[in-house]
Chain A
Amino acid sequence: MRCNSRLAHVLVAGVLLAACAGGGSTGVGDATRITFMAGFSPQANLPFVGAYVARDLGYFADVGLDVAIQHSAGGGEHLQLLAAGEVDVTTQDAAVLLQRRADPGLPLVSIGLIGQRGQQAFVALADSGIETPSDWAGHTVGYKGTPPPDVFAILDAVGLEVADIELVNVGFDPRVLTEGQVDVYPVFKSNEPDTIRGWGFELNMWDAADFGVPTLGLTYVATGDMVAKEPEVLDAFMTAAIRGIEYARDHPEEAIDIVMRYVGEEGDAEHQRFILDTELIDSVSDTTAANGLGWQKAEQWSALQDLLLRYDALASPVDVSEVFTTQFLSG
């Protein structure tokens, strides 16, 4: 790993470095050591699974890589570490990638678009009487941190105004829905619906993509500098990671066994299976059917950027051609 020219930043970001403590450095035997940091805690998000499987089944070793896998706490530090050169590859939601590329100008490049649809959706309790987004009028609609453009796009799609609903910052605890503190709750499709249903509640769910909204999900991310200077490393990484995802698609039970080694004994294998199955569904599209898993097109990124700009969710337009590359995908 390329730590040598980053010492000044290392001093600056001591806390960040602590997270990097297990990170690798160049060369272990014949293998090139790199660090992959998953963008959240261990779970069966598909890009994480690709890396877990590739490491545990030797796919990384097959392409000459020794990959150290770390996990972010989810606060954005993985992007700081990536930009500072302490991590080589990470994962990030496509919309956030565009936002961070625009401000503060992080040199992020998507090297594989694994989520061909957005991660979030909105749910209401099935017995709430809220059957369609048109029924959101007069109800509280939650958001996590900042209102996503998805919610405004859905409102537009059904002819509602923002003033027709009450937007509430609900954080990340779905119990606020089941306890009646909010009527419509934003979920990560592959995660919270399974949790809430596990508590015995049925849900009505709305995905912005079903209303023609051009959402995108998780990507593998590297820096523009690494894409330019070490393409062979990224090519090897993506070859092995996509192979890992394909293995998980074809052998989900075995893949979950591998995931559980990272999640730990306290994890729920059935819940991890839900995450994996949901994200496998969202990993395919006409684009991937024609070109293979992880493929991405300028049209997809442009449409997402237009959406973010339309709803003031992007500080400024970015050059979409610099946001992604397909050079490490088999096509």
Chain B
Amino acid sequence: MTRRTVAGLALVVVVLGIWEVWVQASGTPVYLVPAPSDIASVLGEDASELVPAALVTLGEAVAGLALGGAIGLAMAVIVTFWGQLEQGVMSLALLIKSTPIIAVAPILTIWMGFGHGPKVIVTALLTFFPVLINSVEGFRSVDPAVTDWFRSIDVPSRQYFTHARWPSARPFLFAALKVAAPLAMIGAVVAEWMGASSGLGRLMWLAYTNLDMPSLFGAVFALTLLSAAVYRLVVAAERRTVHWA
């Protein structure tokens, strides 16, 4: 364990300790703010409930991220190959991005029912935009010397894309995924909060309406862990794929 890791853990322990002492000393009721010890108890007692719920949310988030990422990437490719479509595509993307999810989610449920579909779509709507923006930027950030060389040998645009634009965009794509992956977890939870029969979002909604703050914070903690794990996975994938990362 490195000194940096130890220092980080020590900081977390100190913050939790201050939180615990403050809640206990002030007599703050558990229905307002739970002590960390209350949350830890819930995490232990409700693990059999939290784990399946977390897996449901993770599944929806991954599916939504895959869909959103694919759409964002596809739109970026379109903009790159057909520059005249850029304004239209980006306007459409901004329109979708600016639409409040809270307004869209109920409509998706009406159209698609109560399964995982609406949650995946909501997550995709939240995650496609960073992938689109970063990918477009990445496709355009080819080293001018490389571009000149490809032009000098008169390479077709498809090969230029494969051998110059795509490698140039990969770091940008991973930067987007590092933003979008935790966002996907939040998107799935928000969608579940609107109405679901399973998932962390449903557990949070139930805990919130039942004023069960330890369970609410426990579910938030589980979501945080999951988001951190997903982020780490993206970083690990980046290190394997982008050699200079």
Contacts and interface: CB of A to CB of B under 8 A. Distances in A.
B27 A8 contact: yes
Interface in B136-167: none
A104 B31 contact: yes
Given A8-B26, A168-B114, A175-B110, A104 B212 contact: yes
A169 interface: yes
B11 interface: no
A13 B194 CA distance: 24
A93 B150 CA distance: 72
B194 A171 contact: yes
Which of A75, A104, A146, A168 lies at the interface centre, i.e. has the most chain B CB atoms within 10 A of its CB? A104
B109 A176 contact: yes
A181 B32 contact: no
A84 interface: yes
B202 A103 contact: no
Nearest to A182: B114
Interface in B192-245: 194-197, 202, 205-206, 208-213
Contacts of B113: 181
Contact of B110 (A104, A106, A173): A173
Contacts of A145: 205-206, 209
Which of A9, A76, A171 lies at the interface centre, i.e. has the most chain B CB atoms within 10 A of its CB? A171
A9 B27 CA distance: 9
A176 B29 CA distance: 39
B211 A9 contact: no
A311 to B, nearest CB: 16
A100 interface: yes
A203 B176 CA distance: 49
Contacts of A171: 106, 109, 194-195
A79 B211 CA distance: 9
Given A80-B32, A175-B110, A99 B210 contact: yes
A31 interface: no
Contacts of B21: none
Nearest to A8: B26
B44 to A, nearest CB: 18
Interface residues of B, number: 27
Nearest to B212: A104
Interface of A is mostly: loop
A21 interface: no
B30 interface: yes
Interface residues of A, number: 29
A300 B5 CA distance: 59
Given A80-B211, A145-B206, A179-B110, A170 B195 contact: yes
A145 B195 CA distance: 7
Contacts of A170: 114, 195
Nearest to B113: A181
B206 A83 contact: no
Contact of A13 (B33, B110, B111): B33
A13 B210 contact: no
Interface in A45-93: 75-76, 79-80, 83-84
A12 B110 CA distance: 38
Given A76-B209, A169-B202, 16 more contacts: A8-B26, A9-B28, A9-B32, A12-B26, A84-B32, A106-B211, A145-B205, A146-B206, A168-B197, A170-B114, A171-B194, A171-B195, A173-B106, A173-B110, A176-B114, A181-B114
Across chains A and B, which 7 residue pairs bring their CB atoms closest together, nearest first? Answer: A171-B195, A8-B26, A104-B31, A169-B197, A173-B106, A12-B33, A12-B32
28 contacts: A8-B28, A12-B28, A12-B32, A12-B33, A76-B210, A76-B211, A80-B32, A83-B31, A84-B29, A84-B32, A99-B210, A100-B210, A104-B31, A104-B213, A106-B211, A145-B209, A146-B206, A168-B114, A168-B197, A169-B114, A169-B195, A170-B114, A171-B106, A171-B195, A173-B106, A173-B110, A176-B110, A181-B113
Interface of B: 26-33, 106, 109-111, 113-114, 194-197, 202, 205-206, 208-213
